[in-house]
A and B are shown apart, each in its own frame.
Chain A
Amino acid sequence: MILSKRQLPVLVERVVADTKAVQSQIAHEHELKVRQTHPILTCHVGCAHCCHHPFLIPIVEGVLLYRWLRAHGRWNAGLKQKILDTRDKTLGLNFGVWLLSNIACPLLDTQNKCMAYEARPLHCRVTFSSGPSEQCHPHMFGANLSQFIPNAEAIMEFNRKVQGGLKRAGIEGSLMPVSEALLLAEAIEAGDLPIENATFQHTKDMLRL
């Protein structure tokens, strides 16, 4: 049986396509810069400390991630339950408390590998460490941040471009945790939720220090 692919409004589909291109470009440029300034990076497969760090993504990245998981047969009841559990646990949770609670990304598998690595959000693509990997553990955070290679500029540039694209399509986009973005993306793709209604109200509480 061939299922017809649901399309979002043309302007929104364009923002989705642009987001994918901008994500690749910014990540590539950032990595080039990082490799020039830091010849030795300590990130390696199986180390997933940064997969326990909280961060927010635009809804469009959620749509890209959801589509990739669906296309690769990885979106199933088990994964959805894991995403729901993570969403329920982290909804409105202050970032400092999230970090100390060591809550893993729902896309992290039992071998400490990302099950959507090829489609991972920009934040994950631009996070690099040049120090001992154990220092990236959430409970070490704050003790020594010097091993983290600054990435705020790349993330802000990306968010600015994505939010700008959404605005041109008449949508006020908000940032949200990966679990929330994936659940909203599923509803958007199913036609149950217009993308302009995919908003997130808890950002202020979560970022309050």
Chain B
Amino acid sequence: MKTCCVCGKNCQGDGQTMVLTPEEKKAFPDPAKVPDEVSYCTPCLRVMKDRASGAQLLKGLYEMRLRELGVNNAAKLAEAYHKVLLKIPAKRLH
């Protein structure tokens, strides 16, 4: 069963599956948990493909995680991350 890596929806027959490159696999902190591919459902893929909303979604997820971890300056760090994301060439954001 293919599950959307963003919203967790079952996206069998819908959306898109991307095979990770060796370079992308290296970016995972835990080598034991590296997937061979990631799937996106159609609605989440549309958001990720759009530069503005895709970067906002990643910023939001990052900020939410920082807050869960109790990081005090989560908003500031997330804003800096957002700026970096906007500087990355579009193809790297899928």
Interface residues of A (CB under 8 A from B): 88-94, 96-97, 99-103, 138-140, 142-143, 205, 208
Contact = CB atoms under 8 A, between A and B. Distances in A.
A100 B9 contact: no
A12 to B, nearest CB: 31
A148 to B, nearest CB: 17
Contacts of B75: 139-140
Interface residues of B, number: 21
B44 A93 contact: yes
Interface of B: 6-7, 9, 42-44, 46-47, 50, 53-54, 56-57, 59-61, 63-64, 67, 75, 78
Nearest to A89: B46
Interface of A is mostly: helix
A143 B67 contact: yes
Contacts of A140: 75
A101 B9 contact: no
Contacts of A101: 47, 53-54, 56-57, 60
